[in-house]
Chains A and B, each alone.
Chain A
């Protein structure tokens, strides 16, 4: 199967005064797993529907391969789609569901039967071909919806929050299964979710969307470690965001200098410090390893969370930041002074809006 790249060029969609998509540019590489991540109402689903052909953009282009698909109707775009609520056809058996796209194409009966078997084999549900969707569990329905979307060897796979109806355990299992399916088929995939953890787990790259614009496109690790805006820093992962002050060309947090790891002048107005809970290190009195920023405060609480302890630290100005510790060792009593080290390499300072 040859999968194709997708190129989205200055795509805009407006409903009257409301701009849902505002000049979106995005290039999805051939065979890539790209996730569109954003809060609800950010325009991510609208973008997916434009790519699928259900919504006509006000301006801009959608290119699949090197062909302009902007005005091609959905049924001629040759893409597989999986919806949030599975959207299996309840009046057809599992086999008939999976055969539906094949019947729309010029395959012989024997070919259809072979391809249905192959698709059901991919999701390991060959035995369920005669069942009706109402007789399946949530996870099975999801797999059948997947099998139906890939049975006809589409060049692109689109998924709109396909796991949001499943419980947590099954969802995590299906994340791995979908990623695995993508790797085996090598199919260009665009996946929409509002769950940042899901996006980090599954994607080659993530496009973070906010208010109809793309905030950042990057690989999961880059997005997490080096967010380019406060929105992305806040949306991806847990973080504490603290405003910094400028004093004599230096950045200060409660009177203590913070080394941002770059020239302070390079950072725009209203600088903010972004702290990930797992990057902070508990320091003993008087100790300050080289290459670390020092943050001081008092211990407010230590919450046992199973795999780790979530420690809340109150700073001099009343702001609270959290860090993760493997256990309660070395922790002072609540109310006592606590010293934290933040490696300069992990220090992220971003301009505020």
Chain B
């Protein structure tokens, strides 16, 4: 340990000289993951109430969760809506990013701004607006309505991510492919797409998590059999505070972490 402290880091400054830097970095990481780390042990509690640290351990609340039709149905709705949000937002956002990147139309900067506008308006305003529109279109409490709303929130993230990916890509490659005999769509599919894949995978990840974590819009436009898990969590927090909510949170964290890991693995693979 002492030898390590005295040894130089890559740029010759000894490790002990930057202990303060390491300390700050570790502190920031602890602050970031602490809420998650507290929730997980609480979910294995045998208490009827939220306690930390738990007084005893049990899987009772997991049993309750997996036996509750309300929770299971909400989980299914959330996962289904998240998957379809990805399926709608990723291709649309990618095509939009490609158009913004390639087009020389003066109007394109306006299109760019409109596509990012859902991010600039407070989500609660978006939710209220959607509520009134969906009431007319009879899309309230439907999965379709949720998918469309979440896709609207996810498309700006896809556009930003894919645009960043296209900035580091040399569009001449697509031109070469076209001159070599590939129609434009095929040139995009065989040459451009494989190279912006990391950006697209990140866009998939962001769309999925946006939908899964979304609560504001869901509170307004989801309900009944098509309530999302975040909505049910919100309701149950209002009525009673029991450790079941920590079980749900733990499951959500598990899903999110799995997806992040899968995307990172896929990206590492495409880098090789």
- Chain A residues within 8 Å of B, Cβ to Cβ: 52-54, 73-81, 83-85, 87-91, 100-101, 104-105, 148-149, 152, 158
Contacts and interface: CB of A to CB of B under 8 A. Distances in A.
- Size category of the binding interface on chain B: 10 to 19
A87 B170 CA distance: 7
Task: Tell me what chain A mostly uses at the interface: helix, strand, loop, or mixed.
Answer: loop
Task: Tell me what chain B mostly uses at the interface: helix, strand, loop, or mixed.
Answer: helix
Interface string B112-149: 00000000000000000000000000000000000000
A163 to B, nearest CB: 16
A89 B178 CA distance: 13
B210 interface: no
Interface of B: 170, 172-173, 175-184, 186-187, 190-191, 194-195
A85 B182 contact: no
Nearest to A79: B179
Contacts of B177: 89, 100
Contacts, number: 64
A54 B175 contact: yes
A149 B175 CA distance: 12
Given A81-B175, A83-B175, 19 more contacts: A73-B183, A73-B184, A74-B178, A75-B178, A75-B180, A75-B181, A75-B183, A76-B181, A78-B181, A80-B179, A87-B176, A89-B177, A90-B195, A91-B195, A100-B190, A104-B180, A105-B181, A148-B176, A148-B180
Contact of B194 (A75, A88, A91): A91
14 contacts: A52-B175, A75-B178, A75-B179, A75-B181, A75-B187, A80-B179, A80-B180, A84-B172, A90-B195, A91-B195, A100-B190, A101-B181, A148-B176, A148-B180
A105 B181 CA distance: 8
Contacts of A74: 175, 178-179
A127 B219 CA distance: 63
A75 B172 CA distance: 14
A317 to B, nearest CB: 49
Nearest to A151: B180
B177 to A, nearest CB: 7
B170 A85 contact: yes
Contact of A83 (B172, B182, B184, B191): B172
A83 B176 CA distance: 8
A128 to B, nearest CB: 19
A66 B146 CA distance: 58
